[in-house]
Protein backbone atom coordinates (compact mmCIF):
# COMPACT_ATOMS: atom_id res chain seq x y z
CA UNK A 1 0.00 0.00 0.00
CA UNK A 2 1.37 3.38 -1.02
CA UNK A 3 1.38 5.93 1.82
CA UNK A 4 1.09 9.70 1.59
CA UNK A 5 3.60 11.59 3.71
CA UNK A 6 3.24 15.35 4.25
CA UNK A 7 6.44 17.26 4.97
CA UNK A 8 6.13 20.70 6.60
CA UNK A 9 8.12 23.77 5.66
CA UNK A 10 10.71 25.57 7.74
CA UNK A 11 9.49 26.49 11.25
CA UNK A 12 6.21 24.65 10.60
CA UNK A 13 4.57 21.54 12.00
CA UNK A 14 1.52 19.38 11.29
CA UNK A 15 -0.81 22.35 11.80
CA UNK A 16 0.13 23.71 8.38
CA UNK A 17 -1.57 20.62 6.86
CA UNK A 18 -4.74 20.85 8.99
CA UNK A 19 -7.06 21.62 6.06
CA UNK A 20 -5.56 18.83 3.96
CA UNK A 21 -5.62 16.19 6.68
CA UNK A 22 -9.33 16.87 7.10
CA UNK A 23 -10.13 15.71 3.54
CA UNK A 24 -7.43 13.24 2.52
CA UNK A 25 -8.81 9.72 1.95
CA UNK A 26 -8.00 7.26 4.74
CA UNK A 27 -6.69 4.66 2.31
CA UNK A 28 -3.63 6.85 1.71
CA UNK A 29 -2.80 6.59 5.43
CA UNK A 30 -1.67 10.23 5.45
CA UNK A 31 0.92 11.19 8.03
CA UNK A 32 3.03 14.24 8.74
CA UNK A 33 6.79 13.72 8.93
CA UNK A 34 8.72 15.38 11.75
CA UNK A 35 12.22 14.53 10.49
CA UNK A 36 12.98 18.21 9.89
CA UNK A 37 12.75 18.85 13.62
CA UNK A 38 15.27 16.12 14.44
CA UNK A 39 17.85 15.95 11.65
CA UNK A 40 20.63 18.17 10.38
CA UNK A 41 20.68 18.74 6.64
CA UNK A 42 18.25 18.04 3.81
CA UNK A 43 19.93 14.72 2.91
CA UNK A 44 19.73 13.47 6.51
CA UNK A 45 16.07 14.47 6.75
CA UNK A 46 15.27 12.54 3.57
CA UNK A 47 17.27 9.53 4.71
CA UNK A 48 15.45 9.43 8.06
CA UNK A 49 12.05 9.76 6.39
CA UNK A 50 12.80 6.82 4.10
CA UNK A 51 14.15 4.70 6.95
CA UNK A 52 11.20 5.39 9.24
CA UNK A 53 8.46 4.96 6.61
CA UNK A 54 8.92 1.68 4.71
CA UNK A 55 7.26 0.81 1.43
CA UNK A 56 6.14 2.88 -1.56
CA UNK A 57 5.49 6.55 -0.87
CA UNK A 58 3.88 9.65 -2.27
CA UNK A 59 5.58 12.69 -0.77
CA UNK A 60 3.93 16.08 -0.44
CA UNK A 61 6.32 18.78 0.73
CA UNK A 62 5.96 22.52 1.21
CA UNK A 63 8.95 24.86 0.84
CA UNK A 64 11.76 23.14 2.79
CA UNK A 65 9.56 20.06 2.87
CA UNK A 66 9.61 20.04 -0.92
CA UNK A 67 13.40 20.05 -0.84
CA UNK A 68 13.32 17.02 1.45
CA UNK A 69 10.84 15.31 -0.87
CA UNK A 70 13.01 15.88 -3.93
CA UNK A 71 16.05 14.55 -2.08
CA UNK A 72 14.13 11.45 -0.96
CA UNK A 73 13.20 10.81 -4.58
CA UNK A 74 16.88 11.06 -5.50
CA UNK A 75 17.89 8.64 -2.74
CA UNK A 76 15.12 6.10 -3.37
CA UNK A 77 13.54 6.62 -6.81
CA UNK A 78 12.06 3.12 -6.87
CA UNK A 79 10.03 3.84 -3.73
CA UNK A 80 8.69 7.31 -4.53
CA UNK A 81 5.52 6.98 -6.60
CA UNK A 82 4.74 10.70 -6.78
CA UNK A 83 5.85 14.13 -5.60
CA UNK A 84 3.59 17.04 -4.73
CA UNK A 85 5.71 20.17 -4.32
CA UNK A 86 4.22 23.34 -2.87
CA UNK A 87 6.06 26.66 -2.98
CA UNK A 88 9.52 25.17 -3.25
CA UNK A 89 12.73 25.51 -5.25
CA UNK A 90 15.22 23.07 -6.72
CA UNK A 91 17.95 25.70 -6.83
CA UNK A 92 20.81 25.96 -4.34
CA UNK A 93 21.00 28.95 -2.02
CA UNK A 94 22.27 32.21 -3.49
CA UNK A 95 25.04 34.11 -1.67
CA UNK A 96 22.75 37.07 -0.99
CA UNK A 97 20.04 34.97 0.62
CA UNK A 98 22.64 32.95 2.50
CA UNK A 99 23.95 36.18 4.01
CA UNK A 100 20.43 37.20 5.08
CA UNK A 101 19.86 33.77 6.56
CA UNK A 102 23.06 34.01 8.61
CA UNK A 103 21.88 37.34 9.99
CA UNK A 104 18.58 35.73 10.98
CA UNK A 105 20.42 32.81 12.61
CA UNK A 106 22.39 35.30 14.72
CA UNK A 107 19.12 36.88 15.88
CA UNK A 108 17.62 33.48 16.69
CA UNK A 109 20.67 32.74 18.84
CA UNK A 110 20.08 36.05 20.69
CA UNK A 111 16.50 35.07 21.52
CA UNK A 112 14.96 37.43 18.95
CA UNK A 113 13.09 34.79 16.92
CA UNK A 114 9.67 36.44 17.29
CA UNK A 115 11.07 39.66 15.84
CA UNK A 116 12.43 37.86 12.76
CA UNK A 117 9.30 35.80 12.22
CA UNK A 118 6.99 38.81 12.45
CA UNK A 119 9.06 40.54 9.77
CA UNK A 120 9.01 37.41 7.62
CA UNK A 121 5.20 37.32 7.66
CA UNK A 122 5.20 40.34 5.34
CA UNK A 123 6.99 38.28 2.68
CA UNK A 124 5.28 34.96 3.35
CA UNK A 125 1.69 36.03 2.67
CA UNK A 126 -0.15 37.69 -0.20
CA UNK A 127 -0.72 41.29 0.90
CA UNK A 128 -3.99 41.56 -1.06
CA UNK A 129 -5.61 38.49 0.50
CA UNK A 130 -9.06 39.44 1.87
CA UNK A 131 -8.36 37.62 5.14
CA UNK A 132 -4.82 38.91 5.60
CA UNK A 133 -5.20 39.92 9.26
CA UNK A 134 -6.50 36.50 10.31
CA UNK A 135 -3.96 34.72 8.10
CA UNK A 136 -1.11 36.67 9.64
CA UNK A 137 -2.26 35.67 13.12
CA UNK A 138 -2.48 32.00 12.08
CA UNK A 139 0.91 32.12 10.41
CA UNK A 140 2.59 33.64 13.45
CA UNK A 141 0.89 31.16 15.80
CA UNK A 142 2.29 28.38 13.61
CA UNK A 143 5.89 29.48 13.16
CA UNK A 144 6.49 30.94 16.62
CA UNK A 145 6.05 27.46 18.12
CA UNK A 146 9.43 26.53 16.63
CA UNK A 147 12.32 26.74 19.09
CA UNK A 148 15.40 28.85 18.35
CA UNK A 149 17.42 25.64 18.02
CA UNK A 150 14.98 24.31 15.40
CA UNK A 151 15.02 27.59 13.49
CA UNK A 152 18.82 27.67 13.44
CA UNK A 153 19.14 24.02 12.40
CA UNK A 154 16.54 24.28 9.64
CA UNK A 155 17.87 27.54 8.25
CA UNK A 156 21.33 26.03 8.05
CA UNK A 157 19.90 22.95 6.32
CA UNK A 158 18.12 25.06 3.71
CA UNK A 159 21.16 27.27 3.24
CA UNK A 160 23.32 24.21 2.48
CA UNK A 161 20.71 22.39 0.38
CA UNK A 162 21.83 20.51 -2.73
CA UNK A 163 21.12 21.59 -6.29
CA UNK A 164 18.19 19.28 -7.03
CA UNK A 165 18.10 20.32 -10.68
CA UNK A 166 20.86 17.82 -11.43
CA UNK A 167 18.67 14.77 -10.76
CA UNK A 168 15.14 15.98 -11.55
CA UNK A 169 15.27 15.05 -15.27
CA UNK A 170 15.76 11.40 -14.24
CA UNK A 171 12.46 11.28 -12.31
CA UNK A 172 9.75 9.17 -13.88
CA UNK A 173 7.03 9.56 -11.27
CA UNK A 174 4.20 12.15 -11.52
CA UNK A 175 4.98 15.56 -10.02
CA UNK A 176 2.37 18.10 -8.94
CA UNK A 177 3.62 21.68 -8.56
CA UNK A 178 1.49 24.22 -6.71
CA UNK A 179 2.74 27.70 -5.97
CA UNK A 180 1.32 31.09 -5.09
CA UNK A 181 1.20 33.55 -7.96
CA UNK A 182 2.58 36.22 -5.62
CA UNK A 183 5.08 34.04 -3.74
CA UNK A 184 8.10 36.27 -3.16
CA UNK A 185 10.17 33.68 -1.26
CA UNK A 186 10.04 30.98 -3.94
CA UNK A 187 8.69 32.87 -6.98
CA UNK A 188 6.68 31.07 -9.68
CA UNK A 189 9.79 30.94 -11.87
CA UNK A 190 11.19 28.33 -9.43
CA UNK A 191 8.16 26.10 -9.99
CA UNK A 192 8.31 26.68 -13.75
CA UNK A 193 11.95 25.60 -13.71
CA UNK A 194 11.08 22.33 -11.95
CA UNK A 195 8.20 21.75 -14.36
CA UNK A 196 10.59 22.15 -17.26
CA UNK A 197 12.99 19.57 -15.83
CA UNK A 198 10.58 16.81 -14.82
CA UNK A 199 9.00 14.68 -17.56
CA UNK A 200 5.65 14.13 -15.78
CA UNK A 201 5.11 17.49 -14.11
CA UNK A 202 2.03 19.67 -13.98
CA UNK A 203 2.07 23.22 -12.64
CA UNK A 204 -0.69 25.26 -11.00
CA UNK A 205 -0.39 28.91 -9.93
CA UNK A 206 -2.82 30.07 -7.25
CA UNK A 207 -4.08 33.67 -7.33
CA UNK A 208 -4.14 35.73 -4.14
CA UNK A 209 -1.55 33.39 -2.68
CA UNK A 210 1.98 33.86 -1.41
CA UNK A 211 4.33 31.32 0.14
CA UNK A 212 1.77 29.50 2.33
CA UNK A 213 -0.80 27.94 -0.02
CA UNK A 214 -2.10 25.43 2.56
CA UNK A 215 -3.14 28.39 4.73
CA UNK A 216 -3.94 31.03 2.11
CA UNK A 217 -5.84 28.89 -0.41
CA UNK A 218 -6.66 25.62 1.37
CA UNK A 219 -9.71 24.77 -0.75
CA UNK A 220 -7.75 25.17 -3.98
CA UNK A 221 -4.85 23.08 -2.63
CA UNK A 222 -7.27 20.38 -1.50
CA UNK A 223 -9.00 20.23 -4.88
CA UNK A 224 -5.72 19.98 -6.79
CA UNK A 225 -4.20 17.43 -4.43
CA UNK A 226 -7.27 15.19 -4.32
CA UNK A 227 -7.65 15.20 -8.10
CA UNK A 228 -3.96 14.45 -8.60
CA UNK A 229 -3.96 11.66 -6.03
CA UNK A 230 -6.99 10.07 -7.67
CA UNK A 231 -5.24 10.10 -11.04
CA UNK A 232 -1.91 8.71 -9.88
CA UNK A 233 -3.56 5.94 -7.88
CA UNK A 234 -4.87 4.29 -11.05
CA UNK A 235 -3.24 0.89 -11.67
CA UNK A 236 -1.02 2.15 -14.49
CA UNK A 237 0.45 4.78 -12.17
CA UNK A 238 1.25 2.30 -9.41
CA UNK A 239 4.48 1.13 -11.02
CA UNK A 240 7.62 2.46 -9.30
CA UNK A 241 9.85 5.10 -10.79
CA UNK A 242 12.74 3.37 -12.57
pLDDT at 233 (0 to 100): 85
> pLDDT for 190-242, tens place per residue?
999 999 999 999 999 999 999 999 999 999 999 999 999 999 986 444 444 44
How far is 11 from 187, CA to CA, in rounded Å?
Answer: 19
pLDDT at 213 (0 to 100): 98
How far is 109 from 47, CA to CA, in rounded Å?
Answer: 27
In degrees to the nearest 10, what's the CA dihedral of 72, 215, 123, 117?
-80
What the chain holds in terms of domains, given with CATH numbers, is 3-94+155-238 (3.40.50.1820)
Segments in the chain below pLDDT 50: 235-242
Q: Is 201 helix (H, G, I), strand (E, B) or coil?
A: strand
What's the distance, Cα to Cα, between the start and end of the chain in Å? 18
* β-strands 3-7, 80-86 pairing: unpaired
Q: Hey, CA dihedral for 54, 3, 185, 71, is it positive or negative? A: positive
Amino acid sequence: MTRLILIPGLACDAAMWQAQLAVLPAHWQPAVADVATRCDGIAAMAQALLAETPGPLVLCGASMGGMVAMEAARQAPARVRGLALLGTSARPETPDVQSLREQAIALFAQGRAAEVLRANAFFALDRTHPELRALTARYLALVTRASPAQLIRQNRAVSARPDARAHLPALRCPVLLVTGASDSLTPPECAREIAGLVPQAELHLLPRCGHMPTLEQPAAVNALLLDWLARISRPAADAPCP
